[in-house]
Chains A and B, each alone.
Chain A
Amino acid sequence: MAVKRRDYSLTGPEGKRAMEKGLVSAEWYTCPIPRARLKALMKRKNGPAIRDTLIWFGALLASGYLAYLSWGTWWAVPAFALYGILYATPADSRWHECGHGTAFRTPWMNEVLYQIASFMAIRSATPWRWSHSRHHTDTIIVGRDPEIVAERPPIWRIIGMELFHLYGGPREIVRFVLHCIGKVDAEEKEYIPVSEYKKTFREARIYLLIMIGVVAACVYAGSVLPAMFIILPSFYGFFIVLLFGMTQHLGLKEDVLDHRLNSRTIYMNPVLRFLYWNMNYHVEHHMFPMVPYHALPKLHEEIKADCPAANPGLWSALKEVFGALRKQKEDPAYALIRPLPSTARPYWFDSSAAKPDGGANVTA
Chain B
Amino acid sequence: MTAEDWIEACAAADIDDEDVIRFDHGDRTFAIYRNAKNQYFATDGFCTHERVHLANGLVMGNLIECPKHNGRFDITTGEAKRAPACEKLNTYPVKVEAGKVYIRID
Contacts and interface: CB of A to CB of B under 8 A. Distances in A.
Contact of B84 (A105, A130, A289, A361): A130
Given A107-B82, A360-B53, A44 B60 contact: yes
Interface residues of A, number: 24
Given A101-B70, A129-B83, A130-B84, A39 B16 contact: yes
A137 B53 CA distance: 13
B86 A193 contact: yes
A3 interface: no
Q: Interface on chain B toward A: helix, strand, loop, or mixed SS? A: loop
B45 to A, nearest CB: 12
A288 interface: yes
Contacts of A136: 68-69
A137 B66 CA distance: 12
Interface string A41-54: 01010000000000
Interface in B32-71: 49-51, 53, 55-58, 60, 65-70
Size category of the binding interface on chain B: 20 to 34
Interface string B10-38: 00000010010010000000000000000
Q: Ordered nearest first, which 10 A-B pairs have the shortest CB separation?
A: A42-B58, A133-B84, A133-B69, A101-B70, A100-B70, A290-B67, A290-B58, A25-B50, A136-B69, A360-B56
Interface of B: 16, 19, 22, 49-51, 53, 55-58, 60, 65-70, 72, 82-84, 86
Given A289-B68, A290-B58, 18 more contacts: A25-B51, A36-B16, A44-B60, A105-B60, A107-B82, A130-B84, A133-B69, A133-B84, A136-B68, A137-B69, A193-B86, A289-B67, A289-B69, A289-B70, A290-B67, A360-B22, A360-B53, A361-B56
23 contacts: A25-B50, A25-B51, A35-B19, A36-B16, A39-B19, A39-B58, A44-B60, A100-B70, A101-B70, A101-B72, A101-B82, A105-B60, A107-B82, A129-B83, A130-B84, A133-B69, A133-B84, A195-B86, A290-B58, A290-B65, A290-B66, A360-B55, A360-B56
